[in-house]
Amino acid sequence: MHLNAPLAITLLLGAVVHAAPAPAPQDSAATTSVASEVTTTTLPDGATTTLPVAASTDTAVASGQLDDLAAFALTLANSSVAASSKQKRGGCTLANLSIRREWGTLSSAEREAYTSAVNCLLAKNANTPSSLIPGAKSRFDDFVGTHINQTMTIHYTGTFLAWHRYFTWSYEQALRNECGYTGTQPYWNWAQTAQTGLETSPIFDGSATSMSGNGAQVSGEGDVVLGGGGGLPEIDLPPGTGGGCVTSGPFKNMSVNLGPVSLGLTNGSTISNGDGLTYNPRCLKRDLTTAINQRYANATSVVHQILKPQEIYDFQMTMQGYPGSGDIGVHGGGHYSIGGDPGRDLFVSPGDPVFYLHHAMIDRTWWIWQLLDLKDRTGAAGISGTGTFLNSPPSPNTTMDTPIDLGYATSPIYANPTYKMSDLLSTTSGPFCYIYL
Ligand SMILES: [Cu+2]
């Protein structure tokens, strides 16, 4: 059976580059005055801070800009939680607020606690009935299967960001509630690995405190080819430095059970195994490609992603890549810089445990952007799109009332696993209570 996979991968590419002057960020928090390259913003406590208005093309400078934006978001998020705590509204208070951190800032013990919990999910039985997804063998696979089944209704849709926020949070909750993990979901700051290279980073160095390393080196790899359908130009992505099975670190023995559905190979072809839901155990492969990280998800890309889009439509399209633009955005940049199988498969990508570090950074980027204009960007004006991939086939607009259901990924301990979009737009109200450091 054939899903709409070629279209899916196809969408990411092209040749026309959008270039427009970067407008100043809008900030509802307080008075803002615009200087030539920075705005001066007054924080709720009366202190002032300066924020960049456009991404520096110097990635070292942009890295500092990203830190400044993140620090601003943190301050505002903290004060909004403090204010709502005083009003005794909602269950999120400074006392129970959880803080997500960058992988490299965790202690060795914290990193090992995280990967041990992931291995616990990999060892636990699936909740998904085998009549629905015969290949889902583990609790970890419940998440992969849910993502496969919903791929065409959660990418290039109005639900993209909220769905993946809820998905990542649910995975974090499963690690905590079902596998004894006491920490929070770490994230992968692409801006840092663009500077250091992937292979030597704390995430991918292959040590016992990493998320496992590269795949074994495969020689003679060619390009991965995206797109080319619908009259759009192709995008050629270079191969990485691995390509084979992961041989080191906590996940060197893991079995990838589901997929492939739309897996880009380094000979330019794409392969699938039917609908990807049958049992197809194989090793985890990676093909770390720092060049892709540096091209699409460097510090300048991330700051540009946060500062340039003023509307959610533009924010989402920039992040995933405007079809035909030649850009795959920071979302595609992260996914394809991991490479391998299932890293290059839009449907099965959560089958590599590092997916959740990547999507935590996607979520952090959205979180920072939301805090630059919190009221609009966590309300109805913060939603754009429909329920189908690039609205194909046409479907109704996503609204605040659109339900999001993660199926068997959701822990059975939650009585009501279905939330609406309106529950998922803020990280500090509704079911969520977390911020990013
Ligand atoms: Cu996804």
pLDDT digit string, tens, across residues 31-68: 445 445 788 888 777 888 889 999 999 999 999 999 99
Distance from residue 214's CA to the centre of ligand 1 (Å)? 22
Distance from residue 316's CA to the centre of ligand 1 (Å)? 13
Exposed, middle or buried: residue 55 (CB in 10 Å: 0-12, 13-18, 19+)?
buried
What is the Cα–Cα distance from 93 to 85, expressed in whole angstroms? 5
8-state DSSP, 151: G
Question: CB-based contacts of 68: which residues, under 8 Å, 6+ apart?
Answer: 49, 50, 51, 52
Distance from residue 430's CA to the centre of ligand 1 (Å)? 22
pLDDT digit string, tens, across residues 310-343: 999 999 999 999 988 899 999 999 999 999 999 9
Q: What is the pLDDT of residue 90?
A: 58
The residue with greater pLDDT, 122 or 90, is 122
Distance from residue 130's CA to the centre of ligand 1 (Å)? 23
Angle subtended at Cα 54 by Cα 52 and Cα 57, rounded to the nearest 5 degrees: 110
Q: What is the pLDDT of residue 31?
A: 46
Distance from residue 153's CA to the centre of ligand 1 (Å)? 10
- The chain-wide mean pLDDT, for the chain, equals 89
Q: Is the per-residue pLDDT at 7 higher than 60? A: no
Distance from residue 408's CA to the centre of ligand 1 (Å)? 16
Does an H or E element contain 360, and which?
A: helix 355-371
% of the chain at pLDDT higher than 70: 89
Distance from residue 164's CA to the centre of ligand 1 (Å)? 6
What is the Cα–Cα distance from 208 to 193, expressed in whole angstroms? 19
> Contact 231/248 with Cβ under 8 angstroms?
no
Q: What is the pLDDT of residue 198?
A: 98
Q: What is the pLDDT of residue 4?
A: 39
Q: Is the peptide bond before 431 cis (omega within 30 degrees of 0)?
A: no
pLDDT digit string, tens, across residues 193-219: 999 999 999 999 999 999 999 999 999
**Taking Cα atoms as reference points, which of 189, 185, 191 lies closest to residue 165?**
185
Distance from residue 241's CA to the centre of ligand 1 (Å)? 24
Distance from residue 152's CA to the centre of ligand 1 (Å)? 9
Task: Give the pLDDT mean for 72-96.
Answer: 82
Q: What is the pLDDT of residue 371?
A: 96
Confidence band of 394 (pLDDT split at 50, 70, 90): very high
C-beta neighbour count of 397 within 10 angstroms: 12
Q: Is the per-residue pLDDT at 141 higher than 60? A: yes
Distance from residue 162's CA to the centre of ligand 1 (Å)? 11
Distance from residue 394's CA to the centre of ligand 1 (Å)? 20
Distance from residue 179's CA to the centre of ligand 1 (Å)? 24
Q: Is the peptide bond before 260 cis (omega within 30 degrees of 0)?
A: yes
Q: Is the per-residue pLDDT at 119 higher than 90? A: yes
pTM score of the predicted model: 0.91
Q: What is the pLDDT of residue 70?
A: 96
